[in-house]
Amino acid sequence: MEFGPHLMLASLEGAVIASVLVLTSMGLSIVFGVMRVVNVAHGEFYMLGAVLAWYVTSLLGGHPAVGFVAALVAAPLLVGAIAASADRVILKHLKYDPDRTIVATIGLLYIIQQTTLMTFGPDARPVAPPFNHRLALPWFEFGDSGFAMYWPWGLSTTSYKLFVIAAAAVVLIALWLLITRTKIGLIMRATQQDSETAQAFGIPVGRVYSMVFGLGAALAALGAVLVVPIQQAHYLMGADPLLLSFIVVIIGGLGSLPGTVVAALLIGMSDGIISVFFSPTLAKIIATFLVAMVLVWRPQGLFGRSVP
C-alpha cells in the first residue's frame, strides 16, 4: 500500500484508540479536578468494565447486539456503584488527603485486580461486536487526468470501529452538556472551585465526591465496553489505559477538561499512527518522553494554570 492510504488507515486506528482514551482520561481528570484525588485504581475500573461486559454478554447469549447493549448500560452502572462505595468506605475516611488516597487507591487496584482473577480466571475473553461490516475506503489522487478516485487494496475499516468513534463523541458531548448546562454540573464545578464554601451553601460535598468518583469510574468502564469487541478482556488489561490516561491528563493539564480532550486526541492518534508504522512500544516511549518534556517545560500542562 502507498504511503497516503497507509497513513489514512493508521489515522483511523489512532482515532479509535483516541476515542476510548478520551473517555478513560476524562474520568481520571474529573476525579482529580473535583476531588484532588489521584486515582491509581482508575485502570482497574476500566478492566472491570471490560470483564463485566464479557460476563453480561456471555450470560445473556442470543444475538451479540442484545448482550452488547445490556453491557453498555450495566457495566458502567455497576462499576460506578462499586467506585462510589469505595469512596464512601475508604476515601471519605481518609478525608481525601492527597498522599493517603494515592496509597489507598494502589491498595484498591490490587483488590479489584486479584478479585477479578479469583472470580473470572486468568483467560482473555472475547466479546462479539454487535455489528462488524467491513467497509472499503476510497482514496483520491491528482493525476494527469485530474482528480481520480480509486479503492486501494487493504484500505478498509469496520462499521464497529466507526461506531466507537461516533459513540465516544456522543458521550463527550453529553458530558460537556452535563457539566455546563445542568444543576448537577453547576454543583460539581462549585465543589471543584471551593468545597468549603460549597458546603456553606448547602452542597453535600461528600455525596458530590461519591458521585464524581462513580462517574469517573463509569466513564472508564464505558470506554472499556466500547473497546472489548476489538481487544479481549482480561484481568491485567488496566495497566496500559492507566499509564496513557496519566500521560493525557499531565499533558492536558491536571483537571482541565478541554486539555484532556486535546491531549487524548494527540496521544491516541500518535499512538495509533506510530504503532502501525513502527511499533506500539515506540509509541509508548514517545508518549512518556513527551510527558517528561511537558513536566520540565510546562509543568501545569498545555491547558492547566500555573499555581502562583
Partner 1 sequence: MLEVKNIHAAYGDAITLHGVSFDVQPSEILCLLGRNGAGKTTTLKTVMGILPVTSGSVTLEGEEMSSLPPHEIPRRGIGYIPQGRRLFPELTVNQNIEIGLMTRGMGKDTKEWVLELFPRLRERLKQTAGTLSGGEQQMLATARALCLRPKVLLLDEPTEGLQPSMIALIRDVILKMKNEGFAIVLVEQKVDAVLQVADRVVFIENGRSVDRATAADLKRDPQMLTQYLGV
Q: Which residues bind partner 1 (CB under 8 A)?
A: 183, 186-187, 189-190, 193-194, 196-205
Which contiguous run of DSSP H or E holds residue 15?
Answer: helix 3-35
The smaller minimum CB distance to partner 1, of residues 50 and 187, is found at 187
> Which of 179/286 has CB closer to partner 1?
179
End-to-end CA distance of the chain: 52
- Decide if 77 contacts 218 (C-beta within 8 A): yes
What is the closest distance, in whole angstroms, from the C-beta atom of residue 186 to partner 1 in the complex? Answer: 6
CB proximity list for 302: less than 8 A, separation 6 or greater: 251, 252, 253, 259, 262, 263, 294
Helix (H, G, I), strand (E, B) or coil at 96: coil
3-state secondary structure (DSSP) of residue 235: coil
CB of 79 to partner 1, least distance (A): 27
CB of 139 to partner 1, least distance (A): 46
User: What is the distance of C-alpha 232 from the center of its chain?
Assistant: 16
* Shortest reach from residue 181's CB to partner 1, in Å: 11
CB-nearer residue toward partner 1: 147 or 201 = 201
Q: CB–CB of 183/234 below 8 Å?
A: no
Q: Rank residues 118 and 307 by Cβ distance to partner 1 and give the closer one.
A: 307
Residue 209 C-beta: closest distance to partner 1, Å: 12
| Between 187 and 221, CB nearer to partner 1 | 187
Beta bridge partners of 149: 140
- Whole-number minimum distance, CB 189 to partner 1, in Å? 6
Give the largest CA-CA distance in the chain: 73
Helical (H) or strand (E) element with 136: strand 134-136
**Residue closer to partner 1, measured from CB, 73 or 186:** 186
